[in-house]
């Protein structure tokens, strides 16, 4: 698919903080300072550290030094972690209970000057777990409520992501409302929206008013005998109409950073033509299936990323991730310039 055409200029200037999630460069194995240096080389505004392992040290003094380095480079920092749902297939107990880990994330956020602490419930497998996604949402709300006072006292918003097909936007905003909008907001992930069977623009409409952080990438979708295959790609090379998306973004959540999280070349099966598939989606509407079929029928198959013959696989993956990030950053800037 080609690049989207320029959008009409906006009445007000749109210049959000533009950055990337360290997960976009996962194959490089870089620690926080290396990530900062690369962000500075791309003349970006922000970095999201989305896991604990990216830090060289979690001591407050070392985290404050990291913030000082970011300040010198003109970079805003955002803190994050993974699952806070104790029963999720993704939850990792190595650093303690869900509450303890979320409190750790809040401490990190405070030390590095992050206004938010991004976290997730889990992944698509949780939809088929005992009690379904509703049970996992209730458990997550319980964890969030345990740290409400600490979050409010620190002035830090907990930003729950629509992650890996775990919740669609309607479910996520229900979770946020159950916990409380006074201390919980959303991390809007455009690629994960499609994994949860909704268009990114529709997810933006629902989550925009509570969005405080993002994970931005593009997607391909095409038909298969059992439904469709989803594969992510760099911003501007997939199915998302980015001028329309960011025009609405500027209206709904203009203060949220645009955080690129490219995870390109990885196919994900969506077998929505199997009857048993829908058991995990009790909230699906009659429009869900035809909407996904319409998107899939408009798409064409794409090969997953594979290194060229004779190339070192790790080096090829590293180069690919660096290139996909740069393509996405360039396209975001082009769209912002056209809108602004």
Confidence category of residue 340, pLDDT binned at 50, 70, 90: confident
pLDDT at 310: 80
pLDDT for residue 4 is more than 90: no
Position 318 pLDDT exceeds 50: yes
Stretch 202-211: mean pLDDT: 98
CB atoms within 10 A of CB 300: 9
- In the predicted structure, residue 10 carries a pLDDT above the cut 60: no
Q: Helix/strand/coil (H, E, C) string of the chain?
A: CCCCCCCCCCCCCCCCCEEEEHHHHHHHCCCHHHHHHHHHHCCCCEEEECCHHHCCCCCHHHHHHHHHHHHHHCCEEEEEEEECCCCCCCCCHHHCCHHHHHHHHHHHHHHHCCCEEEEECCCHHHHHCCCHHHHHHHHHHHHHHHCHHHHHHHCCEEEEECCCCCCCHHHHHHHHHHHCCCCEEEEEEHHHHHHCCCCHHHHHHHHHHHEEEEEECEEEEEEECCEEEEEEECCCCCCCCHHHHHHHHHHHCCCCCEEECCCCCCEEEECCCCHHHHHHCCCCCCCHHHHHHHHHHCCCCCCCCCCCCCCCHHHHHHHHHHHHHHHHHHHHHHHHHHHC
Tens of pLDDT along 67-104?
Answer: 999 999 999 999 999 999 999 999 999 999 999 999 99
pLDDT in tens, 266-277: 999 999 999 999
The domains of the chain are located at 18-221+232-266+303-339
> Top-level CATH class of 18-221+232-266+303-339?
alpha beta
pLDDT band with cut points at 50, 70 and 90 for residue 5 = very low
């Amino acid at each position: 698919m080609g690049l989207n055409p320029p959008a009409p200029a906006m009445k007000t200037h749109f210049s959000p903080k533009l950055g990337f999630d360290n997960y976009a460069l996962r194959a490089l194995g870089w620690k926080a300072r290396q990530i900062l240096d690369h962000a500075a080389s791309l003349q970006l505004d922000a970095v999201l550290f989305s896991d604990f392992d990216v830090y060289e040290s979690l001591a407050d003094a070392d985290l404050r030094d990291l913030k000082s380095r970011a300040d010198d480079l003109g970079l805003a920092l955002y803190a994050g972690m993974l699952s806070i749902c104790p029963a999720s297939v993704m939850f990792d107990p190595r650093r303690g209970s869900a509450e303890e880990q979320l409190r750790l994330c809040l401490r990190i956020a405070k030390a590095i000057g992050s206004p938010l602490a991004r976290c997730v419930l889990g992944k698509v497998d949780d939809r088929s777990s005992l009690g379904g996604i509703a049970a996992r949402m209730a458990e997550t709300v319980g964890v969030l409520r345990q740290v409400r006072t600490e979050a409010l006292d620190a002035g830090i918003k907990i930003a729950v992501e629509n992650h890996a097909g775990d919740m669609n936007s309607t479910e996520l905003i229900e979770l946020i409302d159950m916990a409380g909008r006074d201390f919980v907001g959303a991390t809007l992930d455009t690629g994960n929206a499609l994994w949860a069977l909704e268009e990114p623009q529709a997810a933006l409409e629902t989550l925009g008013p509570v969005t405080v952080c993002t994970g931005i990438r593009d997607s391909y979708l095409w038909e298969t005998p059992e439904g469709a295959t989803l594969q992510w790609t760099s911003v501007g090379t997939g199915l998302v109409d980015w001028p329309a998306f960011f025009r609405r973004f500027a209206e709904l959540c203009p203060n949220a950073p645009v955080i690129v999280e490219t995870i390109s070349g990885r196919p994900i099966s969506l077998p929505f033509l199997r009857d048993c598939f829908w058991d995990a989606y009790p909230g699906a509407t009659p429009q869900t299936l035809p909407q996904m079929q319409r998107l899939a029928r408009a798409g064409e198959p794409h090969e997953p990323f594979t290194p060229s013959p004779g190339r070192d696989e790790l080096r090829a993956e590293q180069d690919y991730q660096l290139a996909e990030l740069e393509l996405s950053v360039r396209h975001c800037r082009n769209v912002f310039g056209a809108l602004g």
